């Protein structure tokens, strides 16, 4: 009888342990679901708060600024460029629905400027400012053409190599010929030898250097063929320098040095030669 009782008691204890384990597992699962639900509730609450804050901010922006009659445009003050006249700029602003009576905060200034510069490569910078309560200030800064690209067409480039179109005074610009870039178009930058020609023209644009260039032939890959105007007529110079093609301060200084050597050689040439070779460092040969 004692053994039977002992065996029965042991079985009851095992069933009790298993039942307790099941209860604990169910309790742990319930706590997990509770924590997940709490996190989800917090996330949804936070999203709701953000949405309410955004909606409230937009409502305040419209009420206080973009729909406030106090900030309607009364005056548009324009500082035009040489080519982009005040009338042209006013017409463009009207085209994008910015006129007298438009709210100062009804448009995004950055978007306005980016779109205008994209459509007008001639313009280097456009500044737009709001002056409360009702004045819009617009300032245009155009690019200065440095060289004409090709003898035909109206493509030009500034000293940064940026390409745009120009319809007047093209004959006054030195011309770059021999460019082989078939995709050269407004809004792009010149590349390769044409970029080097721009650097040379920009350096010679300084009156203190004393060199007046009328054209640069970029058809060769190892040197530039520069044409300069002198009292004795037009001279042709084959020009190269150490570091040619590298965008470094040392290469730029070498270019400046070569140009100074060319100027000195031309000035001291009593025979008035028409061609010079400046492709060998430190030397300029008259031909």
pLDDT in tens, 23-43: 455 555 556 666 766 677 677
- Looking at residue 207, its pLDDT comes to 86
The pair of three-digit structure tokens given for residue 40, joined into one six-digit string: 């989800």
Of 112, 142, 172, the residue that ends a domain is: 142
279, part of any domain: yes
Residue predicted with more confidence, 190 or 68: 190
**Quick one: residue 81, left, alpha or beta (phi over 0 = left, psi -120 to 50 = alpha)?**
beta
pLDDT over 50 at 19, yes or no: no
Query: Do 214 and 256 fall into the same domain?
Result: yes
Query: Do 160 and 132 fall into the same domain?
Result: no
pLDDT over 90 at 14, yes or no: no
Residue predicted with more confidence, 46 or 98: 98
- Looking at residue 228, its pLDDT comes to 95
- Looking at residue 194, its pLDDT comes to 96
- State the sign of the Cα–Cα–Cα–Cα dihedral 45, 47, 50, 54: negative
Query: Do 183 and 252 fall into the same domain?
Result: yes
Of 142, 175, 202, the residue that ends a domain is: 142
Query: Do 281 and 152 fall into the same domain?
Result: yes
- Looking at residue 169, its pLDDT comes to 84
Query: Do 236 and 164 fall into the same domain?
Result: yes
Query: Do 258 and 244 fall into the same domain?
Result: yes
Query: Do 246 and 263 fall into the same domain?
Result: yes
Total number of domains constituting the chain: 2
Query: Do 185 and 278 fall into the same domain?
Result: yes
Under 8 Å between Cβ of 230 and 204? no
5, part of any domain: no
131, part of any domain: yes
pTM assigned to the model: 0.72
Q: What percent of the chain has pLDDT over 90?
A: 64
Give 128: exposed, middle or buried? Use CB within 10 Å, 0-12, 13-18, 19+. Answer: middle
Read off the DSSP letter of residue 217.
E
Under 8 Å between Cβ of 73 and 100? yes
The enclosing domain of 261 has a CATH number of: 3.40.50
Q: Residue 115's domain spans which residues?
A: 69-142
**Location of structure tokens 């002056």:** 131
When mean pLDDT is compared across 2-16, 200-214, 226-240, 264-278, the lowest value belongs to 2-16
- Looking at residue 45, its pLDDT comes to 72
Of 142, 164, 188, the residue that ends a domain is: 142
Query: Do 166 and 184 fall into the same domain?
Result: yes
The enclosing domain of 84 has a CATH number of: 3.10.20.310
42, part of any domain: no
pLDDT over 60 at 5, yes or no: no
- Looking at residue 115, its pLDDT comes to 95
Alpha-carbon gap, residue 250 to 255, rounded angstroms: 9
Query: Do 120 and 183 fall into the same domain?
Result: no
When mean pLDDT is compared across 13-17, 128-132, 139-143, the lowest value belongs to 13-17
Query: Do 178 and 250 fall into the same domain?
Result: yes
48, part of any domain: no
225, part of any domain: yes
Query: Do 119 and 158 fall into the same domain?
Result: no
């Amino acid at each position: 009888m004692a053994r039977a009782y002992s065996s029965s008691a042991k079985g009851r204890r095992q069933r009790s342990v298993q039942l307790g384990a099941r209860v604990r597992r169910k309790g742990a699962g319930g706590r997990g679901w509770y924590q997940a639900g709490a996190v989800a509730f917090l996330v949804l609450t936070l999203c709701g708060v953000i949405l309410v804050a955004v909606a409230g901010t937009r409502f305040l922006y419209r009420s206080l600024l973009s729909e406030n009659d106090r900030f309607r445009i009364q005056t548009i003050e324009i500082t035009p460029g040489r080519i982009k006249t005040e009338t042209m700029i006013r017409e463009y602003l009207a085209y994008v629905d910015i006129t007298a009576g438009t709210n100062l905060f009804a448009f995004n200034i950055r978007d306005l400027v980016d779109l205008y510069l994209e459509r007008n490569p001639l313009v280097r910078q456009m500044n737009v400012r709001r002056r409360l309560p009702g004045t819009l200030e617009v300032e245009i800064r155009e690019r200065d053409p440095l060289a004409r690209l090709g003898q035909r067409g109206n493509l030009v480039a500034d000293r940064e190599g940026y390409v745009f179109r120009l319809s007047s005074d093209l004959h006054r610009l030195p011309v770059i010929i021999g460019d082989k870039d078939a995709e050269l178009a407004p809004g792009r930058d010149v590349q390769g030898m044409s970029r080097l020609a721009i650097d040379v023209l920009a350096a010679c644009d300084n009156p203190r250097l004393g060199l007046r260039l009328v054209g640069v032939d970029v058809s060769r890959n190892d040197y530039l063929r520069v044409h300069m105007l002198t009292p004795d007529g037009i001279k042709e110079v084959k020009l190269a320098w150490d570091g040619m093609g590298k965008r470094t301060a040392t290469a730029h200084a070498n270019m400046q040095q070569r140009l100074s050597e060319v100027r000195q050689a031309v000035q001291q040439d009593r025979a008035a030669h028409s061609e010079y070779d400046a492709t060998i460092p430190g030397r300029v040969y008259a031909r």
